[in-house]
Amino acid sequence: MMGLTNLNSTHLSSAKITAAQDAIAALETALAEITVNLSPEDRKRYGSINEQNKLFVNKVYDYNQSQNNLSSPEVDWEEYNNDHRSRNLMEALISRLESIITRLNNAKTLHDYDNYQSALVDYSYTTYKAGSSAPGFEDKYKDLKQFFVKNGTSTAPPEETK
């Protein structure tokens, strides 16, 4: 039985590739002033606050918004609120970017699968043609067979999963 091929035959046009690359460059430029490259030591020191601590931060924010007379005068609340808004914005941007990355990885996976299935078909054809002494195919076969684990005397590609 022939395996599924061309699971993803949608390809971006040159204009859309350029638009995507330009959009990423624009995003990098727009975010350049806030992006920070932390060392492994800094990342360990500052880390990411856990979910319980995020709830705590949000609760303090809520109190400051609804009953600011209960807030400590020693806290710079303008900066606290700016940090809170920035953090929420970054979380939303990260979520959207992660969704895009997941979809791109899914599309790439299908293209990889399509390429591999077509390469297996070509390898089978090459094996057949090399066996018939067609010019050039024996060298191609020798070059390609290195990618397959030998099972006894066979150099056949692995079985397709159905």
> Torsion angle, CA of 44/48/50/55, rounded to 10 degrees?
150
Tens digits of residue pLDDT in 108-138: 999 999 999 999 999 999 999 999 989 999 9
Instruction: Look at residue 162 in the predicted model and tell me its pLDDT.
Output: 43
All structural domains of the chain with their residue ranges: 41-146
> What is Dmax (Cα atoms) for the chain?
90
Cα–Cα distance, 161 to 140 (Å, whole number):
25
The pLDDT of 54-67, averaged and rounded, is 96
Question: What pTM value is reported for the model?
Answer: 0.73
